[in-house]
Structure 1
Amino acid sequence: MARRTNTSCLGLAVKGYLLLSVWTVVGSVLALPVTVVDLMASQDPPVRLHGFEQHAVVYGAPVAVALGVAALTRWSRPSPWWTYLAHAAVVLVASRAAVAWAETRFDSPDWSSRALAQGGAAGLTAFLSHLAVRWWDNGGFNHGRRRPAPGEIWHAFVPFRDSDAGKERYCVVMRTRLRHVEVLKITSQDKDHRSDHIRIPNDGWDLRSGKAHWVEIGLPPLIVPYTDFTDPWPKGRCPKPTWRQLRARRPEAATARLTPAAMVRAVRGPRRG
């Protein structure tokens, strides 16, 4: 038992060291526009950046690293391209603010000490933003229930189009909003004879029936509040060929607004009964 504990502690120590090293390098690169300019200004005589190449390295490397942090954070949760850019922008702005804070707090005459403090502040900020986004994607304030993402198949209470009633069924998430999700419902009834449905392979997400399924594409997506999802995790991902068809053939008409009953469910919490 003691040997297993020691091995576990060693593994945690190695992981911690690697984690610290990675985020230290990330912070050092994010702080380059400040630390490099500071180093050049401290030379005798002072020097400045010259040419496109030098500017590209000093100011382009932090952008590339910020995009890498965004990709690392969301690699297991495919998202629209603009979310990666937004996350990268947050990392750049937050890390620059952290560098400015460290610059005022650690005004050491030694350049290496200043650069270490500034890089550490930038790396810590990037790491905290990474944790915050992962926490939000994995449930956040939603009681640990992970928020659905486009292209995932979930089980939810999906309303009927002509009333506030509905039924629990599989659905494909098309778009996420602040309070609700836009979904296309999935049915196991044979719809091969209808042009407003397309077949979706049962690629391991329906473990109960194993039947073929069809997705409704002839009408706008339906509104489902986050509280109406019956499981805390998705059933699986929509097969790529089907997902491409859904994105290409989905109606462009606006989705219906939240019905009064859906608004009540979104505010009060999960449906009961």
Structure 2
Amino acid sequence: MNKLAYRLRIYRSVVGMNIKEMLAYNLWFWSQLGAHLFLTIVYVSFWKALYSERETIAGLTMQQTLTYIILARMIAPLVQWGYTQEFGYWIREGTISSELLRPVDFQERIFIGHLTRTFVALAQQLLVTGSFAVLVFDIRLPTDPLIWLSFLISLLLGCSILFCFDWIFGCVAFYSTEVWGLQVVRGSILMLFSGVLLPLTMLPSGLQTLAQWMPFAQSVSIPVSLLSGITPLDQLGSIWLQQLAWLAVMLMLSRLMFNFSVRKITVQGG
């Protein structure tokens, strides 16, 4: 019991530090938000032009697609950057040694911070970008609390799955002296197969099948499809079961990969 209380105190501190860190850099937040709003306007204009001479595309109406795209753009900043860059920085600067020596599980601590930043950023995006979309683009977000609860649980599971994938991918940094290229590869694949650019139902059948066998759709396409009404709630049980299976496998692989890779540490700085 004392051990559990001790861990909870540590993780409460981790949550507090991550919230303060996110709220401290106001200029960075507003500059990123401005760029994000501009891209949202570009995306909406593009899709309105595509729908100008047709009623549906891949079975989706313009309203469904626009709602999906705007919501996906809100989620995009939460998943765009993985941990390959951070792993590379820690190894290059030599701080990986102090990170590993802290009296708390390394992956758990980073995961708690990751979820904290994700949901603080989501609240910011919904407040600013969501209000902008409702007022300017006349997008109608659902009012049913059950839909929002389903979305948040699905997003939690999806972000956890993507975190485990990023952890596995980040472990490659232990074998490399430069990780910028790895981050670019990860970001490019994510943009297509997560559903950030367009609903995955609009992809060719071969790419849709490939997307189903990758973890990226779990973090954006699946929760956003629930919130935008593309995926009905009667499929919720199978969706959560699939996400839990993904999470169990990815969590196990991420632990195994890290325990193996950490033996190969070569500190480049310090």
Asked if these proteins are the same fold (TM beyond 0.5), I'd say no
The normalised TM-score by structure 2 is 0.24
- Which gives a bigger RCO, structure 1 or 2 (Cα 8 Å, sep 6+)? 2
More strand by share: 1
Looking at secondary structure, tell me which structure has more helix per residue.
2
**What TM-score do the two structures reach when normalised by structure 1?**
0.23
Larger radius of gyration: 1
